[in-house]
């Protein structure tokens, strides 16, 4: 039933766009957006939709950046992942035996389902071989394939690597080409990497739960290994990133996705997001689903330019960012905020309204003072002249 409804929303003969880790991670970047939840849940291709709306997304990596990223990853994983495992040992598990002997199982198989099954088998074998007394060796799974159930359909996910520690625990590895300068990287980029890694952690937890039912209880670590180039060199360095918060937010969002049927039910009859439709019809369909635009959308969602333009047109305070939005309480439009500040609207007992009026009074006072200081000194009038 739900699948049928989603197919209607995508349009005739429009295939569902499979969700990848980036799309799932973006759910955690703007958890309150019903528009995104519905479009992702229904498998709508948001990049194609943004194009059809006349606001193409600005995502995509340059060919040069892509090649540089691939070359860096190959370097990190050279020699059977010796450097990567050394970093995992140093940053995450210094008490374990050093990774002098490591297994790198072959994970090739036909199709995504075949690769998912092969990955699960390799994880099981590595965990069984390790035991939980820390006496086992290290195993590196290079580009394993994981599956996560999203709104009734599997999303196939491919982390850069998963490491099985000697105690049988599992760590997600993210290899990025942005630099780590003096041990720290750009917080926004680290945040995006953490959200993506949290999706892989959730998918690994599903594998772990299945193995636990079969008597092989592994532990999925919630600190992932982020590997980046050191300073401006090509040498890898790494840091452990705690993804518990991102994991919790993404898990909550994914559970909400199963309720996208409620959002779909609230839409007008015949709503469709097919990119083949005339732009007016498509715009009306998109506007029929409530959105909560925030500047964070610009780095996470294909529809960001469309939603930003609409938010600005409507004077929505969400376009100013979440912190400002949170301070303004029930005031949702810039016009409403200005009216409240001028004393023309709003409940004076509302703390946001009271704060705005205080701020407006302080601003007016400051402007008056500034004006008084910049006024030329009054010229001496007749009375002054007489006194002299």
Q: State the minimum distance, in angstroms, from the CB of residue 29 to ligand SF4.
A: 8
Give the shortest CB-266-to-ligand SF4 separation in angstroms: 16
> From the list 44, 297, 317, 328, which residue makes contact with ligand SF4 (rule: CB under 6 A)?
297
- Binding residue for ligand SF4, selected from 19, 192, 203, 291, defined by CB under 6 A: 291
Which of 301, 328, 353, 356: binder of ligand SF4 (CB under 6 A)? 301
User: Measured between alpha carbons, how far is 357 from 105 in angstroms, rounded to an integer?
Assistant: 66
Q: Which of 94, 93, 118 is nearest to 105 (CA)?
A: 118
Find the distance separating the first CA and the last CA of the chain, reported in whole Å.
Answer: 97
DSSP E strand boundaries for the chain: 102-103, 138-142, 146-150, 153-157, 161-164, 169-175, 219-220, 223-229, 236-242
**Minimum CB distance to ligand SF4 smaller for 11 or for 32:** 32
Which residue pairs from 119-126 have beta carbons closer than 8 angstroms and sit at least 24 positions apart in sequence?
Answer: 119/144, 119/145, 119/146, 119/207, 120/207, 120/210, 120/211, 123/162, 123/164, 123/170, 123/207, 123/211, 123/218, 124/211, 124/214, 124/216, 126/164, 126/168
**Should residue 176 be labelled a site residue for ligand SF4 when binding is judged by CB under 6 A?**
no
* Region near ligand SF4 per CB under 6 A, out of 176-184, 303-311, 336-344, 366-374: 303-311
Complex with ligand SF4: residue 175 or 291, whichever CB lies closer: 291
Which one of 31-39, 140-148, 179-187, 376-384 is the stretch in contact with ligand SF4 (CB under 6 A)? 31-39
Stretch that binds ligand SF4, among 29-37, 52-60, 155-163, 186-194 (CB under 6 A): 29-37
Instruction: Output 57 or 177, the one with its CB closest to ligand SF4.
Output: 57
Q: How far apart are CA 142 and CA 164, in angstroms?
A: 11
What are the structure tokens assigned to 99, written together?
């990774």
Q: Does 307 bind ligand SF4 (CB under 6 A)?
A: yes
Of 34-93, binders to ligand SF4 (CB under 6 A) are 35-36
Verify binding: residue 33, ligand SF4, rule CB under 6 A.
yes
- Indicate the Cα dihedral angle 173, 179, 184, 189, nearest 10°: -70
Nearer to ligand SF4, 290 or 343 (CB): 290
Q: Does 292 bind ligand SF4 (CB under 6 A)?
A: yes
């Amino acid at each position: 039933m739900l699948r049928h409804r989603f197919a209607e929303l995508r349009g005739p003969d429009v295939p569902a766009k499979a969700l990848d880790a980036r799309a799932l991670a973006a759910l955690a970047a703007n958890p309150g957006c019903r528009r995104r939840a519905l479009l992702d849940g229904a498998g709508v291709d948001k990049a194609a939709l943004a194009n059809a709306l006349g606001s193409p997304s600005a995502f995509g990596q340059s060919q040069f950046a892509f090649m540089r990223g691939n070359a860096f990853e190959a370097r990190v994983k050279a020699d059977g992942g010796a450097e990567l495992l050394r970093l995992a040992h140093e940053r995450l598990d210094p008490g374990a035996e050093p990774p002098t002997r490591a297994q790198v199982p072959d994970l090739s198989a036909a199709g995504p389902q075949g690769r998912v099954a092969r990955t699960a088998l390799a994880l099981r074998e590595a965990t069984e071989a390790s035991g939980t007394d820390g006496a086992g060796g290290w195993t590196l799974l290079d580009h394993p394939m994981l599956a996560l159930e999203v709104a009734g359909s599997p999303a196939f996910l491919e982390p850069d690597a998963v490491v099985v520690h000697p105690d049988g625990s599992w760590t997600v590895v993210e290899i990025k080409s942005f630099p780590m300068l003096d041990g720290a990287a750009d917080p926004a980029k680290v945040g995006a990497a953490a959200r993506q890694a949290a999706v892989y952690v959730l998918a690994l937890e599903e594998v772990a739960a299945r193995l636990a039912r079969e008597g092989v209880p592994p532990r999925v670590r919630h600190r992932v290994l982020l590997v980046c180039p050191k300073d401006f060199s090509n040498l890898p360095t790494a840091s452990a990133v705690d993804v518990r918060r991102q994991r919790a937010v993404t898990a909550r969002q994914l559970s909400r996705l199963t309720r996208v049927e409620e959002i779909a039910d609230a839409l007008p009859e015949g709503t469709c997001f097919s990119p083949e439709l005339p732009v007016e019809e498509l715009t009306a369909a998109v506007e029929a689903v409530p959105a909560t635009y925030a500047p964070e959308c610009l780095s996470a969602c294909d529809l960001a330019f469309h939603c930003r333009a609409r938010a600005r047109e409507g004077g929505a305070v969400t376009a100013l960012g979440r912190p400002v939005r949170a301070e303004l309480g029930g005031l949702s439009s810039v016009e409403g905020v200005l009216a409240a500040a001028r004393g023309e609207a709003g409940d004076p007992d509302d703390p946001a309204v009271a704060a705005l009026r205080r701020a407006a009074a302080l601003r007016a006072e400051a402007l008056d003072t500034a004006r008084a200081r910049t006024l030329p000194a009054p010229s001496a009038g007749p009375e002054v002249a007489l006194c002299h």
